[in-house]
């Protein structure tokens, strides 16, 4: 069959690569893709359609006999791409618009967690800035202030004291820094501990647990600096043992899936729980409704079964007929290489060198994110340039976490462009 992957990041490169490896797949199209998906092989091809151009995506899917569409990011999911494809009878993997609110609205998510009795931070929701500030006047504990809607990962403000939390409310309400996403505010207690990502695939009744992964959100080594989309990830995660994973399934994912059903918003797709492992046990920080980026890259490097079968069974509500996924017992570490300036304003258009040398390092794979192909006069010459903040996700496999880290950084060392940088401590938390 032919597959359409919607998106252009490292996650979408990993998805296209994994799906193209299925014996059931003829061609994978990526809309719009990046230089990595353009050069991956003859069975993967980019299509110049953006992720929110639904009529064009539909038209393309119909004309090219797409048997399965896979959506990478939350933005088209929250805008209702699955409903649009479903209405036309086209098969698409992911949650409906109403179910995607689990990520698209933090107050919706908190209400589902409350009703499902799922462990999470204590919270309050406000529509008015004055009410929120009044509430904060009587609070001295550490607080997190969140814009309710999607804000490209920037709408969460972790505050040290009362004046910071009042300033956060001003940013969301008075200065409208996050626009409509700030129509409502969620204020919650700050949780302390180690963060992990636990992803599962569900058809609304069966839950297929994936292996845990850990992201590295702060920009710099030692988890300092501004928040990013994620500077690296690894899997598996030693602090989440089998017993804890089962607990998370039973106490977090099962009640969430049930409550989504009873709410009339049944969930199908990837359910990604962002968890804080607190002294009292795991608590949900947030839900995402798709694979994490960069968590997807190490996870798919380790997944040893056919993702097409899993995605089709999810669409058909037949996940109970699928065998438990098999995993490569090795560890995977993904190091994100970024552009100078990221996560603030960053440079683009820098030629990337050394990709061929990096490709020769055993047990590694370079997933592209913010890259593009620059047109040159010579048709046979391919020049790859930077085209985003997070540029590459260099992923290594190894018998131990240290071996995987060594493999990933050996490939990183081969790659250079003007202003390239990365964290040097990805996965160190696992061995500390």
- For residues 290-329, which are near ligand GLY according to CB under 6 A? 292-293, 295
Measure the CA–CA gap between 144 and 195, rounded to whole angstroms.
15
Partner whose binding site includes residue 144, from ligand AMP, ligand GLY, none (CB under 5 to 8 Å by kind): ligand AMP
Beta strand 207-209 with 156-159: parallel, antiparallel or unpaired?
unpaired
Measure the CA–CA gap between 334 and 364, rounded to whole angstroms.
9
Measure the CA–CA gap between 371 and 348, rounded to whole angstroms.
9
- How many beta carbons lie within 10 A of that of residue 87, not counting itself? 10
- Binding of ligand AMP at residue 40 (CB under 6 A)? no
Which listed range, 21-29, 188-196, 289-297, 373-381, lies at the site for ligand GLY (CB under 6 A)? 289-297
Partner whose binding site includes residue 293, from ligand AMP, ligand GLY, none (CB under 5 to 8 Å by kind): ligand GLY
Measure the CA–CA gap between 212 and 245, rounded to whole angstroms.
8
Q: Please state whether the peptide bond connecting residue 287 to the residue before it is cis, i.e. omega within 30 degrees of 0.
A: no
Q: Is 279 exposed, middle or buried (0-12, 13-18, 19+ CB in 10 A)?
A: exposed
Contact criterion met (CB below 8 Å) for 256 and 356: no
Q: What is the nearest approach in angstroms of ligand AMP to the Cβ of residue 73? A: 13
Ramachandran area for residue 33 (φ above 0: left; ψ -120 to 50: alpha; else beta) = left
> x/- binding map, residues 202-221, to ligand AMP, per CB under 6 A?
---------------x----
- Binding of ligand AMP at residue 144 (CB under 6 A)? yes
- Binding of ligand GLY at residue 105 (CB under 6 A)? no
Measure the CA–CA gap between 296 and 309, rounded to whole angstroms.
18
Q: What is the nearest approach in angstroms of ligand GLY to the Cβ of residue 223? A: 14
Which residues are registered as beta bridge partners of 213? 197
Of 156, 209, 254, 305, the residue at the interface with ligand AMP (CB under 6 A) is 156
- Binding of ligand GLY at residue 12 (CB under 6 A)? no
- For residues 175-204, which are near ligand AMP according to CB under 6 A? 188, 190-191, 195
Q: What is the nearest approach in angstroms of ligand GLY to the Cβ of residue 275? A: 12
- For residues 211-230, which are near ligand GLY according to CB under 6 A? 215, 230
Measure the CA–CA gap between 289 and 320, rounded to whole angstroms.
20
Which listed range, 1-9, 108-116, 151-159, 200-208, lies at the site for ligand AMP (CB under 6 A)? 151-159
* 348: nearest Cα among 361, 339, 357, 356: 339
DSSP 8-state assignment for residue 320: G
Of 113, 121, 240, 394, the residue at the interface with ligand AMP (CB under 6 A) is 121
Which residues are registered as beta bridge partners of 396? 333, 364
Give whichever of 156 and 254 is closer to ligand AMP, judged by the CB atom: 156
Count of alpha carbons within 13 angstroms of residue 56, beta-carbon side: 10
- Binding of ligand GLY at residue 103 (CB under 6 A)? no
Of 105, 202, 288, 364, the residue at the interface with ligand GLY (CB under 6 A) is 288
Partner whose binding site includes residue 336, from ligand GLY, ligand AMP, none (CB under 5 to 8 Å by kind): none
* 385: nearest Cα among 341, 317, 339, 326: 339
The footprint of ligand AMP (CB under 6 A) covers 121, 144, 153, 156, 158, 188, 190-191, 195, 217, 274, 285-286
The footprint of ligand GLY (CB under 6 A) covers 215, 230, 288, 292-293, 295
């Amino acid at each position: 069959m032919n597959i359409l992957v919607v998106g252009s990041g490292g996650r979408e490169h990993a998805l296209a690569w994994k799906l193209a490896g299925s014996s059931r797949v003829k061609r994978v199209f990526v809309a719009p893709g990046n230089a990595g998906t353009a050069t991956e092989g003859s069975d993967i091809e980019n299509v110049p359609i953006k992720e929110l151009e639904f009529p064009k995506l539909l038209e393309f899917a119909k004309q090219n006999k797409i048997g399965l569409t896979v959506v990478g990011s939350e933005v088209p999911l929250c805008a209702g791409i699955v409903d649009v494809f479903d209405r036309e009878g086209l098969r698409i993997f992911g949650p409906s618009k109403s179910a995607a609110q689990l990520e698209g609205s933090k107050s919706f998510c908190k209400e589902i967690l409350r009703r499902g009795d799922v462990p999470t931070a204590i919270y309050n929701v406000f529509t008015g800035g004055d009410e929120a500030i009044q509430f904060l006047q009587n609070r001295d504990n550490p607080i997190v202030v969140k814009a309710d809607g999607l804000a490209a990962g920037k709408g969460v403000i972790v505050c040290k004291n009362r004046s910071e939390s009042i300033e956060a409310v001003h940013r969301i309400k008075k200065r409208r820094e996050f626009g409509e996403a700030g129509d409502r505010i969620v204020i919650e207690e700050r949780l302390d501990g180690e963060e992990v990502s636990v992803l599962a695939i569900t058809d609304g009744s069966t839950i297929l647990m994936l292996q845990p992964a850990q992201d590295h959100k702060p920009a710099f080594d030692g988890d300092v600096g501004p928040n990013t989309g994620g500077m690296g990830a690894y899997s598996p995660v030693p602090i989440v043992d089998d017993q804890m994973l089962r607990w998370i399934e039973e106490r977090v994912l099962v009640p969430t899936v049930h409550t989504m059903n009873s709410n009339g918003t049944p969930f199908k797709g990837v359910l990604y729980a962002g968890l804080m492992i607190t002294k009292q046990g795991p608590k949900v920080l947030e839900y995402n409704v798709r694979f994490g980026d960069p968590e997807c890259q190490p996870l798919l490097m380790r997944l040893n079964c056919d993702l097409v079968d899993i995605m089709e069974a999810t669409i058909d509500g037949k996940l109970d007929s699928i065998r438990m996924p098999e995993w490569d017992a090795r560890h995977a570490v993904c190091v994100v290489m970024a552009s100078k300036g990221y996560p603030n304003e960053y440079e683009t258009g820098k030629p990337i060198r050394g990709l061929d040398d990096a490709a020769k390092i055993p047990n590694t794979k370079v997933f592209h994110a913010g890259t593009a192909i620059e047109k040159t006069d010579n048709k046979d010459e391919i020049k790859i340039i930077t085209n985003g903040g997070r540029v590459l996700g260099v992923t290594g496999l190894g018998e131990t976490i240290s071996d995987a880290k060594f493999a990933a950084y050996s490939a990183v060392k081969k790659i250079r462009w003007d202003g390239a940088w990365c964290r040097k401590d990805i996965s160190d938390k696992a061995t500390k």
